[in-house]
Amino acid sequence: MSPNTPTFRSSRILAVNSLAFLDA
């Protein structure tokens, strides 16, 4: 799977949001 696929991008966004939420 290429890193430009919507699923990959969404996964990265969800991961970043999760880390930000836990860090808050």
The pTM of this model reads: 0.43
The tokens describing 15, both together, are 């991961």
What is the reported pLDDT for 14?
86
Taking only the tens place, the pLDDT of each residue in 1-24 is: 566 667 877 888 888 888 888 775
Q: How many CB atoms lie within 10 A of CB 15?
A: 10
What is the reported pLDDT for 10?
84
What is the reported pLDDT for 1?
55
What is the reported pLDDT for 3?
60
